[in-house]
A and B are shown apart, each in its own frame.
Chain A
Amino acid sequence: MDMTIRENLDSLLKRVTGFDEFREGQEEVIRSVIRGRDTIAVLPTGAGKSLCYQLPVYALGGTVLIVSPLLSLMEDQVAQLKMKGEKRVAALNSYLAPKERADVLANLGRYRYLFTSPEMLVQPHISDRIKRLRLAYIVADEAHCISQWGFDFRPDYLRMREWLGTLAERPPVLALTATASEKAIRDIADYLLMEQPELFIHPPDRPNIAMELLRLHGREEKTEWILDNLSRWKGPGIIYVQSRKRAEELADLLSSRRIRAAAFHAGMENEDRILVQQQFLNGELEWICATNAFGMGINKPDIRWIIHDHLPASAAQYIQEIGRAGRDGGQSLATLLYAESDADTAAFIAVDDLPEPETVRFIGACVEEGLTIEEAGERAGLSETALRVVRYWLGRLGTESAATQMERLAEAKRKEIFSMVRFAEGGGCIRSKALGLFGYSPASRPDQCCSECGLVPERILTGRTTAGNTPGLLDWRERIDRLFGF
């Protein structure tokens, strides 16, 4: 019996993906889903979690509902599936024009993979349609977001719980993430209303990514270090930065040294972002200087180097971001550039968008006087995200508790930053410390472990021999010829 399922799964894998064998962790997860169990899979970045939700539907039939926290991630996943020739895939999100949305809704039953956001799920007319589908199972990708952001920036994710509760016959739920502490796993199980979920937990260790930690004094020194080192060693790589301005500044400085780099951030036109991503995937760009708008879901196999120019706001974010490196299994490097002042900046930015308790009280009072929450938010000058937070907690807890909730949220964020600061201040094996942030320790110590254990750059990076040259503007007739392959 077991034997036949095994054979079937292997041939299914071959038929659907062309891969010969499962990677570590994948098969158990897939079996568990096929058996109809609620499942939580914690597998390292690049381990192949997408496959875990793509395959079981072939054995079960029906539609898979994938709930994704980030629009850009959703778009990437849909594009990647389409690239593999999957036609029965659609995304139901706020990007859709009304007509397109109506089209998708009219054809819901035809899709094998239906991606949506928590925000969409709580809209009654959409939710009702989805409930009538034959759902094979429900997937929460990047499930750490449930606990990472759930308490503040993504209240709608919490609403997913309410939505799940309204399903008469709830299909199994599969939660996927690379980074989840024990507490996060409990949150996930709780918020997704899971019943005795099967747990498959692997530490978020990536032995082929060497970890480097450098203490520098402020921004200028970081800039100098980056320019100097990137002239000596080759990418491809990503520099993660705090702000749009910094992304542009570094990209321009690198370009002026004939290192092909571009900025990527949420302030750019959508078309330009696609172009930058495409150039990077094509190897036309060597470096991307990005805010956290770039990352999750990016699957370029040969990224060799991730540099952090700022302190990420959480351990999960840090692990996710360095996880873009070495997805081809090749030796890679993650460098964290840390200056003492980064701690304050990170703390400031993390709680910046969180409303003050006083603001929540003010809004509560306005609402009592008969204003709508939007009007109240406008009076208080709240951002859209902040307003979402307030709306959710006011609705659930009432004014006073919602106000104190804000304090608790800010506290939780500060704690998160504080543990990152302790991590960045160093002392001891960096890999052990990183895994320790989630309550694990490394299974073994790779040869190129970390800058504390000792690194040999030559064994990790490739030296730069010649400076690249930027191509000029092609004559338009020639460009047409080349585009069409003449």
Chain B
Amino acid sequence: MGSYILKRLLLAVPVIFGITVIVFLIMAMIPGDPATAILGSYATPENVARLNRDLGLDQPLVARYFIWLGNMLHGDFGQSFSLNRPVIDEVLERFNNTLILAGTSFVLCTVFGILAGVVSAARQYGFADKAITFVVLLGISIPSFFLGMMMILIFAVDLQWLPVSGMYAIYGGGDLPDLLHHLTMPALALAVVATGVVARLSRSAMLEVLRQDFIRTARAKGVKEGRVIWGHALRAAMVSIIPVLGIQAGFVLSGAVYIEIVFQWPGIGRMLVDAILQRDILLVQGGVVFVAACYVIFNIIVDVAQSLLDPRIKT
């Protein structure tokens, strides 16, 4: 197992390397002099000088890439000019907030998606199946940002159950109950689409598995139907559900950008949008590379989980 994890980690190195190349090339598309483009309205002479020194902007493209990469490997993602603090500090702080939001949503979509999918498959064409199928269709069709706004109208404005936005109450907040109070709506809004996708996939994976011969064997042994469904069938279906969970994690992370804007959640998605509007290029660059690399690592965890579940995968 250890060697398998190591192997997967080694395979991730070129992918992360490729990610930096792609981001670098995209940013190199910015027309005009890079220093002024990066600095925009912050192009004071000392900032320009600092940037030229840090990023080697007077050097050819390839050299510039390796200087940038070298800096990042030392944990130096550059300076955010709009915030006047190191990019990495801001990114880490914001990413932490995003993880709380997206992580909760990911758990929600996994649990409820699989639950709904299994029930739907076990009761195929029954009432529960039809109801779930309809809700799922609605769920995957409603834009998360619109859903979030409607939730604010209903649960925050009308019913006043939950706060409109933010991560903590401004006065006297900051503890866990306060966080959960603020987290509920955005986490739910973010989870809806992914839950729908996971539910659909789980349903078809379960239907596929329930037709297999080993399910008939389990029934012939006299295994209780509940265990046939939630044990034998789900266990086998997980083999095709888990890779989709990996993909869904990417969608949850993407959707977090909208949800963070709607609910004023101080996460990395909102940071990126603000940075784009402020034309703080280094902040965008650093944030994108950092999150993409984290996502690659998350997918390794998914692969490892898959290999733990399926003894047929060579480790």
A and B part of one assembly: no
